[in-house]
Structure 1
Amino acid sequence: MTYNPVSMGTFSVKFVLKHPVRSDQQLELEGLVDTGALFTQAPANLVAQIGLVASGARAVHYADGTKDVVPVAKADIAINGVETATMVLCGKPNSLILLGAVTLETLGIGVDPVHKRLIPIGAPMALL
């Protein structure tokens, strides 16, 4: 069976990828919501368009079993008027644009897979 992320119940949303310091440098992107992906990912050439520079690298493993080390940049992401700082994997050219779990949780956004939409979840906290 061939891996196809679209067949796994994913859906796309629009979001804004922003430079964390230069607010005039931003891109509106459409990416797959992927709760199985830890980090958000965009092709490195798009990340570079808004002046983001890789500040490190992360070891990743893909759903097909392959492994890689991918550059990572710090960015801001905004969805529906909510904005947060996050890490963005700088993928290869033509790589999928993914909105990962860390970004979603930091935004306080959950996934409604039945209706294929994002929903506010708030921030769960422990009460002592």
Structure 2
Amino acid sequence: MGFIKVKVGVFNPAAPEHVVEVEGVVDTGAIYTVVRRDVLESLGVKPLRRRRFKAFGGYVERDVGEVGLVLMGERRVVPVIFGEAEDVIVVGMTALEIFGLEVDPVRGTLKEAELLLL
């Protein structure tokens, strides 16, 4: 299965009325969501800390924070990595879990997940 492309709204939780729509991919191998720094800064989203990530055959450091996403008509706040200009916008597994979504590999889309209580 290839990548699943999605349109996602991005907003600052402190100013949720201003939403920027971007196109990205769903990556079930990624833990966090990645949004380019310029998009986050244009919304006034500030980093909360800096983390080290294994990537590109080595390690990189990136700022992380929290951002609001609009996906399939729902709004949630998720952890976000401040991506560089060349980084692809990625919706990671943490966001999918927060939204209660999963990948439908047959249709190549997102769908509501069957949630388990225990």
Q: Output the TM-score relative to the length of structure 1.
A: 0.86
Q: State the shift of 1:122 in Å.
A: 4.2
Misfit runs of 4+, over 3 Å: none
Asked which structure has the greater CA Rg, the reply is 1
1:84-110 per-position Cα deviation (integer Å, ceiling 9, x unaligned) = 111110011121100000001110000
Give unmatched runs, 5+ long, in structure 2.
none
1:41-74 per-position Cα deviation (integer Å, ceiling 9, x unaligned) = 0111111111101111222112x42211110121
Aligned residue for 2:79? 87
- Percent identity between the aligned chains? 26
Aligned residue for 2:89? 97
Judge conservation of contact 1:32–1:97 (CA < 8 Å) in 2: yes
Q: Which has the higher strand share?
A: 2
Deviates most, 47-56 or 20-29? 20-29
Aligned residues: CA RMSD: 1.3
**d(CA) in 1 for partners of 2:40, 2:86:** 12
**d(CA) in 2 for partners of 1:105, 1:34:** 13
**d(CA) in 2 for partners of 1:82, 1:70:** 27
